[in-house]
Structures are given as C-alpha cells and as structure tokens.
Copies of this chain bind each other. A is one copy, B any other.
Amino acid sequence: MSEITGPSFFIGKGDEKLISFGSGQPDLPPPPQAFDVLKTYSSFKYGLVQGEESLRAALATQYPKAKSEQFVVTNGASEAIDLALRAIRLRLPKGAIGKVVLPRPYYYSYPHNVRLAGMVPVYYDLKKGKIDYDNFAKVVQGCAAVIINSPSNPTGTVQEVETLRKIEALCEKLGVYVLSDEVYKDIIYVRGNYLLKGSRVVTINSFSKTYAMCGLRVGYLYSQRKELVADVIEMKTHTAMNTSIVGQMMALAALSAPASYIAHNLEVWRSRRDLMVEGMTELGLELWSPEGAFYVFPKFGSSAGGSGKVVRDLYHRYGIITYDGAWFGAPGRVRFSYALDAGKIQEGLRRLQEFLGKEHKRR
C-alpha cells in the first residue's frame, strides 16, 4: 500500500464503505441548468484565452463597477493562483527574492504555488484561526504579495471586516499585491462576504464550491490592474490556452440558477456544521467555531501519536478519510470536511468515537 504523503493520495478516491471527511468537494449537485446546456452542445474550437465574453460579462455583473475585460477564466481557482503568482514574479525587479505572505494554517497548495512561481513563502500565525493585524503588518514589509483566504480552508474561520479593511489600506500603501482567495464567499454563516478592494487586489474565485462543479474546473481571477490581467492572458496562451469551452458554458448556465439554489445549499451546510460541531464537542475535541466553508479543524492530543498517525489509523482501521493538519502547516490538528450527508456524518462520528475510545484505553 502506498504511503499517505498528502492530499493527492486521496483526491478522486471513491469507495462506498469509506466515510470521506477528506476532499473539499460538495456532494450537493450543481444546478440542473449546468447540465441542460449539454443536450445541444456542439462547439469544439479554441475560445478566447481570456475566457468567453458571455461568461465574463455575466461575472462582471456580480462585482460592483467591474468590467468583463477585468476577468480571466481559468482551470479552477488553482490555475488562477498559479498564473497570478507567476505574473507577479514576472515583473519583480531583477534579483528580488519575491516574498509572499501566507497565514498559518494555510491552504495546502499555497506554499507550493509560491515556490513553483519562483518565490518564497513567509508566514504569520493565525490566532484561533483569526488574523492578528499587528503580526500581519510586521511580516508584510518588503514582500511582493500576500494571500488572504476568508472563509479559510482549513480553519473554517472568517476574518473580521475591520481587519480586512486595515489590510487593504496597508497593502495599497505598500504597493503589495493581495491575492484574495474567496472561493467560499457564498458559504458564510455569520455575515455576508466582504470583497477585498484595491488597485493591487486580485480576487480569486471559482464555480467549484458555490455551484459544486469541482471536477469541471472553472474558476477565474478578477483584477482592476490591467497590466496583471494582460500578463496572465499572455502566459495562459503558452501554458494552457482557453479554459475548457464546454466547462465555461456549463458555468455560464449555472449562473442562471435562481438565488434559492445558493440559499438552500447554505442551509444544508449550516445544519451539517451544527451536527459536526455538536458531535465533536461531545467527543471532547477542541475546535474553532466554523464560520464559513465546510471544514472543522480539531486538535488531537499528543496521546493519539501525532496527527499523521491519527490520519493513518482513521483511514486504515476505521475507513475514514481525513487530512493531516501538517499538510496545512498545523501539525497536531486534523481537517474534517463536512461535505457529505448527515447519515454519513453520523456514521463517521460513531467511528471516530470508537477510535477515540480505543486510543484512550490503550494509555
């Protein structure tokens, strides 16, 4: 059996007996509109590298004063982050290191994205999942870019609007790029989304979470910075060309779903969150209250043998997929996604209880 070294071990794995708290993949289906377009679909030619005008125009209506030419449609948010970072790297002064500020815990891809773009990640620690502005302000000096991710994967926390405003102002003053990864913007339990704004802000978003279209890989970036948008298009011409045109048409159709689609899903996420938080609290696990996205990130005592061992034991002995906090810069914690139905959540909690009981007894 191959070793569990990271999320790629689990991604795309399916097995009826497994309870997967692993991947951040909504199980709720996309709006039917997304599939309806396939019945008569017939296009196959290259599209604009920037993305179909119709889709970008529809996206522009969702952002105040935005224009379609400020968007680039990408292979999911992942490619948007990859290209945005590479575009920032491209214009660094010769010899500059290019430091990029990341919160810790971070989404597991961020440090890889930064390094793969030829830059260097620097970190500040979140306090109970929240940004401490003073910490942030210290580390951002002399950096090329920061990544903000609110709601956060893996912490499930949402940043305070006041903090986000101070970050906006500081980065604008310092001329630092802000990559605002807002892929969970439609899954917030405590307030509406706060869109980060500024001349160097690059908003990253996707159809994966809001419209449950993970496997179709349609995301986008939005920025008022012409130069960055042009650089991203130029790069994408060489590294990927247009994002799948059939995916783009499905995304456009998804946007025509009624608002009730998103509202309904939010209520499902909320009830599952309550189930998870209640269950885990009863099991005596310490966790931050999840304010958005669909993750809880409990701490496991060192008696369990470290979070890596917890993940291995849960998978091999209890048939539960979870993600090691170490992959997110938080060893000792384990990420549980609650993108699965209530019945499975309950079965998963039952297995977890069994695991915790046995571990307890052994000591």
> Taking beta carbons and an 8 Å cutoff, which residues of A are in contact with B?
6-8, 11-12, 23, 25, 29-30, 34-35, 38-39, 41-49, 75-76, 78-79, 82, 86, 109, 112-113, 116, 118, 212-217, 233-235, 237-247, 250
Contact = CB atoms under 8 A, between A and B. Distances in A.
B44 A86 contact: no
Nearest to A212: B44
Count identical subunits in the complex: 2
Contacts of A215: 43-47, 242, 244-246
Nearest to A217: B244
A282 to B, nearest CB: 30
B48 A116 contact: no
A16 to B, nearest CB: 14
A7 B237 contact: yes
A112 B231 CA distance: 12
Contacts of A233: 8
A26 B274 CA distance: 53
Contacts of A82: 238-240
B241 A76 contact: yes
B247 A49 contact: no
B48 A30 contact: no
B217 A12 contact: no
